Amino acid sequence: MANSPGIDQAKEKIILDAAQKRFGHFGLAKTTMTEIAADVGMSKASLYYYYPDKEHLFLAVIEQEMDEFIKALTAMIGEEEPASKKLKQYTSIRHEYFRRLISLAKLGEHTLSAMKASMDVFKQNLEKQEKELIRRIFQEGIKNGEFESFNAKAYADLFVATMQGLRVSVIHKKTLSETKEEDYQLAEQYQKQITAIFLKSISK
Amino acid sequence: MANSPGIDQAKEKIILDAAQKRFGHFGLAKTTMTEIAADVGMSKASLYYYYPDKEHLFLAVIEQEMDEFIKALTAMIGEEEPASKKLKQYTSIRHEYFRRLISLAKLGEHTLSAMKASMDVFKQNLEKQEKELIRRIFQEGIKNGEFESFNAKAYADLFVATMQGLRVSVIHKKTLSETKEEDYQLAEQYQKQITAIFLKSISK
DNA sequence: TTTTGACTTTTAGAACAAAATAGTCAAATC
DNA sequence: GATTTGACTATTTTGTTCTAAAAGTCAAAA
């Protein structure tokens, strides 16, 4: 009753997991509904009983990832740790999530971008949540005297946008040649350094 | 004798300017050699006397822009000003150059990226020069006691990459809808803020 | 309520032709 | 000799049709 009236939650999860495996392996374009159906051991038509179309199924997979990501973040933030440590942990977790999303769409990002409005809304929503979480970390740091006083909201927006830029650059650079492992690592290194600089500039 | 043996420099400049106007207006893809030739008042074949192909002509236009950009930067850096002020000025000049390049390729960036090796080499070269110039600003600031001591090279690499990321984000975000003026302005604002944070973190 | 086989519709790609544009060159002009 | 060009060829882009594969639907069955 949580979803559509009386839809079997367990069955839905099974489909979701199968889809996740396929998408993670071959990306959105190279995965067919028939394949997913076969994996689950049901007919393609049944998939459409649970999900209106392929896009929604894909979105559901991504949303599941996002939920885990947000959950991990929220839990981490809830702990009794210095705000500075939390910010650093955010950087790691966020980069990891980025890599997972990339492999889902495969070569993706192009595919991701190509996907219409629904994806945009999804992204904006995530960005908003992230900015809010980072703002809280800043706020907390200010309150407990770890940081000096500053505009937490503005800094959070800037911080998230900056990290996003460093990640996007990775994808953007390579023309046809696929992105290399070292590119991801360089991006991660930059993200860590930026985090350190942010911290240095606001720490008491 | 500076270029090919005995090529008319003035004529070349005329072609270059015409090409720049066309490219700036319609972008690379929507500009034909015939049009440029007509603008200049000569036959298309003559264009090929001066430039081996369309790509080289386009590259020459971009290189002219780059030369102006680098020249402006170098002059600015040569002045007797605090390193911090120079870094801020770099941010403005760089963003302006970015916008000019975008309009040259039009909707471009996609077009820019699509253009093969030569463009990649060009970009890498520019990036290298930029990083070197920024490194010098940092170095100078350290030497004259304006900044505390730090690894100028590493910071320059990070700084340039970060600014690049913020610019690239602008292009990347919009799926089909063209990039809006406010997007550019937000990116510029972020770049300025990041510059300020860098300065704050290294200033004595 | 859930599942499915049989169905229709849509999309992606191959193959082809036509048109537009890039690029070449021998001869003419300066 | 340097420069220019008309008339050419080569390549790329665009539009078309065709086809196979995949998406998506639905009435009937379980």
> Would the pLDDT of A83 be above 80?
yes
What is the DSSP secondary structure assignment for residue A53, as one 8-state letter? S
With beta carbons less than 8 A apart as the criterion, state whether B16 and B61 touch: yes
What is the predicted pLDDT for the residue at A5? 41
What is the predicted pLDDT for the residue at A118? 74
Whether residue A116 and residue B164 make contact (CB cut-off 8 A), yes or no, is: no
- Rounded to whole angstroms, the Cα distance separating B86 from A12 reads 58
Tell me: the pLDDT tens digits for B7-41?
677 899 999 999 999 999 988 888 999 999 999 99
What is the predicted pLDDT for the residue at A167? 95
What is the predicted pLDDT for the residue at B192? 98
What is the predicted pLDDT for the residue at B175? 52
- Rounded to whole angstroms, the Cα distance separating B90 from A121 reads 35
Q: Which nucleotide is nearest to A51 (CA to C1')?
A: D24
Tell whether B177 lies on the interface with A, counting CB pairs under 8 A: no
Nearest partner of B50 among B183, A141, B61, B113, judged by Cα:
B61
- Rounded to whole angstroms, the Cα distance separating A145 from A82 reads 10
- Write out the two tokens for B83: 């390193």
> How many angstroms is C1' of C18 away from CA of B119?
32
Output the DSSP codes for chain B: --SSTT--HHHHHHHHHHHHHHHHHHTTTT--HHHHHHHHTS-HHHHHHH-SSHHHHHHHHHHHHHHHHHHHHHHHHHSSS-HHHHHHHHHHHHHHHHHHHHHHHSSTTHHHHHS-HHHHHHHHHHHHHHHHHHHHHHHHHHHTTSB----HHHHHHHHHHHHHHHHHHHHHH-SSSPPPHHHHHHHHHHHHHHHHHHHHHHB-
> Would the pLDDT of A3 be above 70?
no
What is the predicted pLDDT for the residue at A70? 94
Phi/psi of residue B183, each to 5°?
Answer: -65, -45
Q: What is the mean pLDDT of residues A172-188?
A: 79
The stretches in chain B having pLDDT less than 50 are 1-6, 109, 176
What is the predicted pLDDT for the residue at B7? 61
Phi/psi of residue B3, each to 5°?
Answer: -95, -120
> Would the pLDDT of A24 be above 70?
yes
**What are the domain boundaries of chain A?**
63-202
> How many angstroms is C1' of C19 away from CA of B32?
15
Q: What is the mean pLDDT of residues A74-86?
A: 96
Residues 6+ apart with CB under 8 A from A169: A187, B161, B164, B165, B168
Tell me: the pLDDT tens digits for A103-156?
887 655 455 555 666 777 888 899 999 999 999 999 999 999 999 999 999 999
- Crossing angle of helices A181-202 and B181-202, rounded to 10°: 60
Residues 6+ apart with CB under 8 A from A134: A87, A90, A156, A159, A160
What is the predicted pLDDT for the residue at B110? 55
Q: What is the CATH number of domain B54-202?
A: 1.10.357.10
- Rounded to whole angstroms, the Cα distance separating A84 from A95 reads 17
> How many angstroms is C1' of D11 away from CA of A168?
34
Q: Which of the residues A102, A197, A199 would you substitute to probe the B interface, choosing the one with the greatest number of B C-beta atoms within 10 Å? A: A197
What is the DSSP secondary structure assignment for residue A203, as one 8-state letter? B
Which amino acid is located at A119 in the chain? Answer: M
Nearest partner of A175 among B143, B9, B118, judged by Cα:
B118
With beta carbons less than 8 A apart as the criterion, state whether A190 and B158 touch: yes
In this complex, which of A158, A164, A197 lies closest to B193 when CB atoms are compared? A158
Architecture in CATH for domain A63-202: Orthogonal Bundle (1.10)
Q: Which long-range contacts (CB under 8 A, 24 or more apart) does B185-190 make?
A: B187/B95, B188/B95, B190/A158, B190/A161, B190/A162, B190/B166
Q: Which nucleotide is nearest to A31 (CA to C1')?
A: D22
Whether residue B158 and residue A113 make contact (CB cut-off 8 A), yes or no, is: no
Strand D within 7 A of B6 CB: yes
Is the domain spanning B1-51 CATH 1.10.357.10? The answer is: no
